[in-house]
Structure 1
Amino acid sequence: MSNYKTNLILFINRFILIVAVYQICRILFYCVNLELFNNLSIRVFSGGLLFDLAAVAYINIPFLIAHLFPGNFKYSPKYQKILLVSFYVVNLAFIATNFIDIIYYRFTGRRSTYAMITADGMEHDVIRLIPSFLKEFWYIAILFIITGFVLWKLLPKAKSPITPKELNRRDYVQKAIYTVISIFVVLLMIRGGVQKKPIKIVDGMRYGNLNTSALVLNTPFTILKTAFKKKELEKVHYYSDSELKSIYNPVLSINPKLPADKKNVVVIILESFGNENIHCGQTPFLDSLITKAHYFKNGFANGKVSIDAVPSTISSIPSLMNNSFITSGYALNKTKSLPQILKKEGYNTSFFHGAFNGSQNFDQYCKVAGFDEYYGKDQYVGSPAFDGKWGIFDEEFLQFFAAKLTSFKQPFFSSIFTISSHNPYIIPEKYKGKFPKGNTEIQESIAYTDFALRKFFKSAKKEKWYNNTLFVITADHTSSSGTSEADKTNVGKFRIPILFFDPSNPSFNVADEKNFQQIDIMPSILDYLNIKAEIISFGKSFKSQQNFAVYYLQDTYHCIVDDYYLAFANNRTIGLYNWKKDTLLKHNLIETNKPKANELERFLKGYIQSFNNRVIDNQLSFD
């Protein structure tokens, strides 16, 4: 039995070493992103150990079996060498995902999931951006290499030679029993304990708060937990169909009393132009335009990544799941999007994105959404302006956009997604030193895009179509870091500028306090143009008396109604805050204001039921 015990101890020592590395990864995650976390407690790290044990146990259960399976074959030097190398390679690959998220978390606000790392259409973007990330965040790569080297050196090796012993039947039975017991212990770790249900991603909040749950979790755990989910959404039945309609109904009927005003429509989606980047000296043009527009002071993104912004803005469909709608199994669902509706009104429709064709799957989604034309890097015509990494610089691509608009037959509907304020934040050499650096790494490129936007409007003003056009400007999401504590909360991380600008209608110039989100843009455009339509929209028109915003992040639903913000996870409300008075979300009102918590929870449950069931049943359109 001594050989068996030696092998068992060998596995245990290797297992403990890997768990220790996970703890080191958590400390690095915290140290590098120190400014993104507050209200830290020891429970974050004790809870993190629970999730580390679960992930490491899940990954290494095959190696446990390989170490303990009865038989003398496992004592051969060749077998032990293969076992050692495969253990090292597999575990190092998962450890690498922790290192990647040390940086990637800044951009997504959540630990990576299986869907995020396997999203169709994203692989080329990742390959192009890897060199930039390695250059910018070289220290993370070095730390990973050092970790891999030290891990190999410290990884316990099998003592050799091991002299096999003749085994009798009793030996085989005993070893089989010990193997089963060991597997049971490991399965208990995978479950996270003896509680009724295995631990889930959302349980990370039990050991911290909404803001620190990503620190409790580890990336291998979130990847493994989402890797084998067959359904991206599950049907829910909180309410009967009749009751649901009285709580929340996404069917919007726009019945204008006036004839349709077929103005041109231009939707500009600005990369990473979160609230933290405006009114701070970096965006003088956008700041001035805000004073001439219908500006929604309380604007919200419906996601934390660029790929979420397009279906939200164009189709009024949020991504209320861990996968983006564009890359989900529901991407081909029938929808009634802006280009489809406006095309029936005689509009020419087009979408522009200066990145490589295929980036973010935007070209494919544009086909589904009904755009007539897609213009990417391959369609660009103009002076050389490739940024060397991502696509065409915003200045030149916005001028190309302006020229194409002039060539289109009116009325037209067109949207453009800018790219220069995307990591690695490259600006043309001729403008180095021209723009203020700002307080964060992104802000120099924000200032450059603002400059490019000014030049676009300067060109557009010269054209006949300009005064007959409604311009809609929104950010896709916030940037990776804010400048104030309020920017880092689960409200602040989604606040973006949204504005409607009609040069021919100065009376439309309003600073609107309404809670307004990207999914409100589509019904608001139709309502403003007096276009009759019956649509499925999870947003609402700017004319509506409703005052809500709903978004989702890492298994948690976030709902804002009037001055209150509610967080809902694991089928229960976990937080209620007056987000306008309590900007740092420090005072949870669940116990002190139960009627308001119940009111918001009832609305949110109806919203979730309507969204999930309609998406699953492909009921996003009446056609």
Structure 2
Amino acid sequence: MNFFKKLSPFYNLALLYFIVSFTLRIVLLFHPITQSSFAFSESLKIFSLGLLSDFFVFILASAFLWMYLVFISNSKYNKPYGYIILGGFVALLIYLASGKSIFDEYGGALPKIVLIFVGVKTILFALFLFLPKHKTKIRFWLFAFVIFLYVLLILQNAISEFFFWNEFGVKYNFIAVNYLIYTNEVIGNIMQSYPVVPIFSALFIVTGIITYFIIKKSRNYIDDIPSFSEKLKITALYAVLFVISLFAVPGLAKTENSKNIFVNELQSNGIYKFYLAFQNNKLDYFKFYKTIPNDKAFAILRQEIPAISKKNTLREIKEDLLEQRKNVVLITIESLSADFMKMYGNEQNITPFLDSLAQKSLLFTNVYAAGNRTVRGLEAVTLCLPPTAGESVVKREDNKNKFSTGSVFLQKGYNVKFMYGGDAFFDNMQDFYSGNGYEIIDKSSFAENEITFSNVWGVCDEDMYNKAIKIMNAEAKQNKPFFNHIMTVSNHRPFTYPNNKIDIPGNIKSRDGGVKYTDYALRQFFNQAKKQPWFKNTVFVIVADHCASSAGKTELPLDKYRIPALIYTPDMKPEKYTKLMSQIDVMPTLFGLLNFDYQSKFFGSDVFKSDYQPRAFIATYQDLGLIKDGVLTILSPKQQIKQFQLKLNPTPGIAPEFQIHYDEIPLKSENESLIDHTISYYQAASYVLKEKEYQHTGLTGKNDKLYAKVR
């Protein structure tokens, strides 16, 4: 019984972790975003296997607690050992501070972290050594700090999981890993989106109260420090549980195999999900996914894109009509789901300008976003290739000199710019676009008097559009056509924007307000553009980067990928294109409308060509989907394949071309042809990127020199 008491810091913290995790699962189970009902067996699985996962994850996470507790002793401060150990700490500290330690070879923040850690350890050891009368008090407060830190992390993790679920409808995933990299924007977004001060004030108060009771139940460990033999027993027990946990945690993760995605997410442990996302941010298609011989993959792809040959997508695009050298303005709108627009069934009138503009445009009614992040949308309209597994090409190291929409315009003698109201460093946009021949205009390009409103993501859309008008006026005087790609920011949490612009105040942080202000700013942009001499010779392409949410009952819910897209030019004849198409087809279709002759490597197609075969790509960072012939085929890691028959679930009063809701019914038998088509697209895209077949330098022509000069 006495030995059991020595384990009190472990089991008291574990009990807290289990209670918090259990409570969190109940809260998430009844959260509005959890659009599912659960059978008794599913609920039992969620809580029983979830508890087991929590237990083993806690064992692994307790490694630092074990290290701290097992090294608590009085004997190490006795003479002369205490002075020898202190001398060792000081020598190590000098070595680390010299700047020539082994940690400096790794660079980054690691040397500073190790230096600070050893410095704190040295100071604490000196205090224990030279202030023996205060040893007990110092040890108590240090013990209290360690317990406080664990309690804080347990509670903070639960809060973070809740808010992440509130935003995405899943436990931690690849997005959470990305958020760690861009701390300025993300922390700023959190500060502006949520009542942070009250939340964290309450968090620290509750943490303090819980810590008080845990210390009260656990301080026997430092009041009566375990003997050497007792520490050996504790270490042996912990080592056994630690080794078991190393196998149990990934084993339990494999039981997350329900057809209901919410069951899998609720059963999972958020901390382990974060670890998996961190490990799997780079996914080698050929290692993790179902493959076929490359020759076969490209042979199947030639059925979809007949003009290609060999193991690449290079082909000649020839038009019969005279080329139109019009200016082009591409506007990718942040988080604009199709169902925000009136034609798709929205009754709140939050996109009145877009609704009216759509009636005057070439409107694509059946377009699907390639992914659920801004970088995926930018990748889709810039590189026009399917969303490959893992990180977007925008954020990869090998992201430069690609065949892109910008490179086509550069070959045609256009000025090419990427405009973003925030810091283009975010999501690696600066590196990607500058590395592909674009000139960057971002927040750093704005004069102080050009900014009327900004939040953590950047200047408001009105300010961005005003800047764009100035730049385009200057470009128009150069007797060269321009291509300007504008990425908006206002329709993003915290949804703050200037007051007195629309009938929804900007300080109430409403998503509907964010959408309506985005629409308002777009109207103001067009009102200004109409007054400019270049307006009548300009084509405007408007498309969403992705939907406002990707959470749903299935891995890839179709309604969460449906986006609006349109092409407008003054005095054009309105038209609707209703066939299925992908976000990657928008720009190749534009090039066709402009009658561009060019060499293409795009996977995207001109949807008005007679050989176009309707299909769309939708994906997360690991689930790769193809919609074709009324079937959704999904490729997942570990060579997993799922197929669903798509059955329309019509919304009354909505025209057929604007219906977005489908039931995804698992196929009883595999459609091997569609599986091969899906594999061919994603495998070929992965292959050309890996083998550097998607580089701009792979093309021939005198305009390559122009591209190199721009870069």
TM-score interval, smaller chain: 0.7 to 0.9
Match of 1:510 among 570, 575, 583: 575
Residue 221 of structure 1 and its aligned partner are, at CA, apart by 1.6
Rg larger in structure: 2
Hey, what does 2:335 align to over in structure 1?
272
Where 1:192 maps in the other structure, the secondary structure is: helix
Q: How does 1:60-79 map to 2 (within 5 A)?
A: 60-64=62-66
Hey, what does 2:242 align to over in structure 1?
183
Residue 19 of structure 1 and its aligned partner are, at CA, apart by 2.6
Name the CA distance, whole Å, in 1 between partners of 2:615 and 2:487.
Answer: 26
Tell me the number of residue pairs that the alignment of Structure 1 and Structure 2 aligns. Answer: 599
Question: Are 2:282 and 2:390, in contact at CA under 8 Å, matched by a contact in 1?
Answer: no
Q: How does 1:293-332 map to 2 (within 5 A)?
A: 293-317=361-385, 319-330=387-398, 332=399
* Residue ranges of structure 1 left out of the alignment (5+ in a row): 194-198
Name the CA distance, whole Å, in 2 between partners of 1:184 and 1:486.
Answer: 35
Question: Are 2:372 and 2:547, in contact at CA under 8 Å, matched by a contact in 1?
Answer: yes
Structure 2 residue 58 is the aligned partner of structure 1 residue 56? yes
Where 1:17 maps in the other structure, the secondary structure is: helix
Name the CA distance, whole Å, in 1 between partners of 2:350 and 2:236.
Answer: 67
Structure 2 residue 316 is the aligned partner of structure 1 residue 251? no
Match of 2:589 among 524, 532, 542: 524
Note the alpha carbon deviations across 1:536-584, whole angstroms, 9 max, x for none: 3343332352222222226322321142223343422345131534876
Name the CA distance, whole Å, in 2 between partners of 1:178 and 1:101.
Answer: 31
Hey, what does 1:196 align to over in structure 2?
none
Question: Are 1:121 and 1:361, in contact at CA under 8 Å, matched by a contact in 2?
Answer: no
* Change beyond 3 A, Cα 1:73–1:595: same
Name the CA distance, whole Å, in 2 between partners of 1:434 and 1:164.
Answer: 63
Name the CA distance, whole Å, in 1 between partners of 2:550 and 2:618.
Answer: 19
Structure 2 residue 687 is the aligned partner of structure 1 residue 613? yes
Note the alpha carbon deviations across 1:379-427, whole angstroms, 9 max, x for none: 3576541235443222232133123212213311001112222222123
Note the alpha carbon deviations across 1:191-229, whole angstroms, 9 max, x for none: 335xxxxx36xx64x246135544333432222123345
Name the CA distance, whole Å, in 1 between partners of 2:534 and 2:408.
Answer: 21
Hey, what does 1:226 align to over in structure 2?
277
Question: Are 1:254 and 1:527, in contact at CA under 8 Å, matched by a contact in 2?
Answer: no
* Change beyond 3 A, Cα 1:390–1:458: same
Question: Are 1:435 and 1:448, in contact at CA under 8 Å, matched by a contact in 2?
Answer: no
Where 2:673 maps in the other structure, the secondary structure is: helix
* Change beyond 3 A, Cα 1:17–1:123: closer
Question: Are 1:11 and 1:67, in contact at CA under 8 Å, matched by a contact in 2?
Answer: no
Hey, what does 1:216 align to over in structure 2?
267
Structure 2 residue 449 is the aligned partner of structure 1 residue 447? no
Fraction of identical pairs, as percent: 20
Question: Are 2:416 and 2:438, in contact at CA under 8 Å, matched by a contact in 1?
Answer: yes
* Change beyond 3 A, Cα 1:498–1:45: farther
Hey, what does 2:10 align to over in structure 1?
11
Q: How does 1:150-549 map to 2 (within 5 A)?
A: 151-155=210-214, 156-159=217-220, 161-162=223-224, 164-165=226-227, 167=229, 178-193=237-252, 199=253, 204=256, 206-207=257-258, 209-211=260-262, 213-229=264-280, 231-236=282-287, 238-248=291-301, 251=313, 253-258=315-320, 259-279=322-342, 280=346, 281-317=349-385, 319-330=387-398, 332-376=399-443, 378-379=445-446, 384-408=451-475, 409=478, 410-431=480-501, 433=503, 441-480=510-549, 490-506=557-573, 509-543=574-608, 545-549=612-616
Name the CA distance, whole Å, in 1 between partners of 2:518 and 2:28.
Answer: 31
Where 1:339 maps in the other structure, the secondary structure is: helix
Name the CA distance, whole Å, in 1 between partners of 2:60 and 2:264.
Answer: 20
Residue 342 of structure 1 and its aligned partner are, at CA, apart by 0.8
Question: Are 1:207 and 1:216, in contact at CA under 8 Å, matched by a contact in 2?
Answer: no
Name the CA distance, whole Å, in 2 between partners of 1:388 and 1:304.
Answer: 22
Where 1:268 maps in the other structure, the secondary structure is: strand
Name the CA distance, whole Å, in 1 between partners of 2:545 and 2:405.
Answer: 17
State the one-letter code of the partner of 2:491. S
Question: Are 1:302 and 1:550, in contact at CA under 8 Å, matched by a contact in 2?
Answer: yes
Where 1:260 maps in the other structure, the secondary structure is: coil
Name the CA distance, whole Å, in 2 between partners of 1:102 and 1:216.
Answer: 14
Question: Are 1:30 and 1:215, in contact at CA under 8 Å, matched by a contact in 2?
Answer: yes
Deviating more after overlay: 280-289 vs 375-384: 375-384
Name the CA distance, whole Å, in 1 between partners of 2:680 and 2:555.
Answer: 28
Name the CA distance, whole Å, in 1 between partners of 2:363 and 2:457.
Answer: 30
RMSD, aligned CA? 3.7
Name the CA distance, whole Å, in 1 between partners of 2:460 and 2:575.
Answer: 32
State the one-letter code of the partner of 2:382. I
Where 1:267 maps in the other structure, the secondary structure is: strand
Where 2:153 maps in the other structure, the secondary structure is: helix
State the one-letter code of the partner of 1:346. G
Residue 243 of structure 1 and its aligned partner are, at CA, apart by 0.4
Where 1:497 maps in the other structure, the secondary structure is: strand
Name the CA distance, whole Å, in 1 between partners of 2:395 and 2:449.
Answer: 32
State the one-letter code of the partner of 1:112. Y
Note the alpha carbon deviations across 1:473-506, whole angstroms, 9 max, x for none: 0112222499xx9999721111110112233542
State the one-letter code of the partner of 1:124. N
Hey, what does 1:572 align to over in structure 2?
640
Residue 276 of structure 1 and its aligned partner are, at CA, apart by 2.2
* Change beyond 3 A, Cα 1:87–1:118: farther
Name the CA distance, whole Å, in 2 between partners of 1:175 and 1:376.
Answer: 56
* Change beyond 3 A, Cα 1:301–1:211: farther
Hey, what does 2:191 align to over in structure 1?
131
Deviating more after overlay: 142-151 vs 561-570: 142-151
Deviating more after overlay: 421-430 vs 111-120: 111-120
Residue 518 of structure 1 and its aligned partner are, at CA, apart by 2.3
Report the TM-score, using the length of structure 1 for normalisation.
0.84
Structure 2 residue 203 is the aligned partner of structure 1 residue 122? no
Deviating more after overlay: 140-149 vs 65-74: 65-74
Where 2:510 maps in the other structure, the secondary structure is: coil
Note the alpha carbon deviations across 1:328-370, whole angstroms, 9 max, x for none: 344x344111112211110011121122453443222220221
Name the CA distance, whole Å, in 2 between partners of 1:336 and 1:300.
Answer: 22
Residue 119 of structure 1 and its aligned partner are, at CA, apart by 5.8
Question: Are 1:302 and 1:552, in contact at CA under 8 Å, matched by a contact in 2?
Answer: yes
Name the CA distance, whole Å, in 1 between partners of 2:49 and 2:579.
Answer: 39
Hey, what does 2:109 align to over in structure 1?
none
Question: Are 2:144 and 2:211, in contact at CA under 8 Å, matched by a contact in 1?
Answer: no
State the one-letter code of the partner of 1:607. Y
Where 1:498 maps in the other structure, the secondary structure is: strand
Name the CA distance, whole Å, in 1 between partners of 2:382 and 2:601.
Answer: 13
Name the CA distance, whole Å, in 2 between partners of 1:562 and 1:498.
Answer: 22
Deviating more after overlay: 543-552 vs 79-88: 79-88
* Change beyond 3 A, Cα 1:257–1:617: closer
Question: Are 1:265 and 1:469, in contact at CA under 8 Å, matched by a contact in 2?
Answer: yes
Question: Are 1:380 and 1:400, in contact at CA under 8 Å, matched by a contact in 2?
Answer: no
Question: Are 2:60 and 2:242, in contact at CA under 8 Å, matched by a contact in 1?
Answer: no
Where 1:235 maps in the other structure, the secondary structure is: helix
Question: Are 1:52 and 1:221, in contact at CA under 8 Å, matched by a contact in 2?
Answer: no
State the one-letter code of the partner of 1:367. S
Deviating more after overlay: 487-496 vs 385-394: 487-496
Name the CA distance, whole Å, in 2 between partners of 1:73 and 1:569.
Answer: 56
Hey, what does 1:102 align to over in structure 2?
162
